[in-house]
Structure 1
Amino acid sequence: MKLIVTVMPKNGVLDPQGKAIEHALGTLGFEAVGEVRTGKVIELELAETDPARARAQAEEMARKLLANTVIESFRVELA
């Protein structure tokens, strides 16, 4: 079963990479772009066949390794 874990900085946490992208887009003429936030997307292929158990496993992985839950939030979706 494939799952997608999306990890993003929490609101209020500085995102220097997002600011750099926001500035670069402005210099390229994309002036209508507002705030840019960067994160990461992780695709997991699990042998689990039960969707609820697969989601629970992916959430545990995110809490333990994939996301720094002090400064990042995450969401898990079935793909």
Structure 2
Amino acid sequence: MGRIAVDVMLKPEILDPQGQAVNGALPRLGFSSFTDVRQGKRFVLTVDGDVTPAHLEEARKAADTLLSNPVIEDVLSVRALGEDEA
């Protein structure tokens, strides 16, 4: 079985309350190196057999039409996952 990861993030101009909440909590927990946090989402699609270019193209179309809201989100990547990736 092959797997495809689709990563989606809010557009930079869209307010990200969850990212802001995490950004505020990090220093309180001792993590002071980070200056900003943006929250995103990942979809993992499974296919029979190895991932082919046709599978990736279909995943890109699904990402643009169903997995993301193009008004407020960008599809950052659509890629095959290796066996050792989550």
Counterpart AA for 1:30: F
Could you say what the CA RMSD is over the residues aligned between the two structures, in angstroms? 1.5
Structure 1 residues 55, 48: closer, same or farther in 2, change over 3 A?
Answer: farther
Superposition pairs of residues 7-26 of structure 1, within 5 angstroms: 7-26=8-27
Moved over 4 A (4+): none
Q: 2:3 is matched with which residue? A: 2
Percent pairwise identity: 37
Counterpart AA for 2:18: Q
Superposition pairs of residues 1-79 of structure 1, within 5 angstroms: 1-47=2-48, 49=50, 51-74=52-75, 75-79=77-81
TM-score (norm 2): 0.82
Counterpart AA for 2:56: R
State the alpha-carbon separation in 2 of the partners of residues 73 and 20 from structure 1: 21
State the alpha-carbon separation in 2 of the partners of residues 58 and 27 from structure 1: 39
Deviation at 1:13, TM superposition (A): 1.2
More helix by share: 1
Gaps of 5+ in 2: 82-86
State the alpha-carbon separation in 2 of the partners of residues 10 and 52 from structure 1: 27
Q: Deviations over 1:32-56 (max 9, x none)?
A: 2111001111100123756211111
Counterpart AA for 1:43: V
Deviation at 1:28, TM superposition (A): 1.3
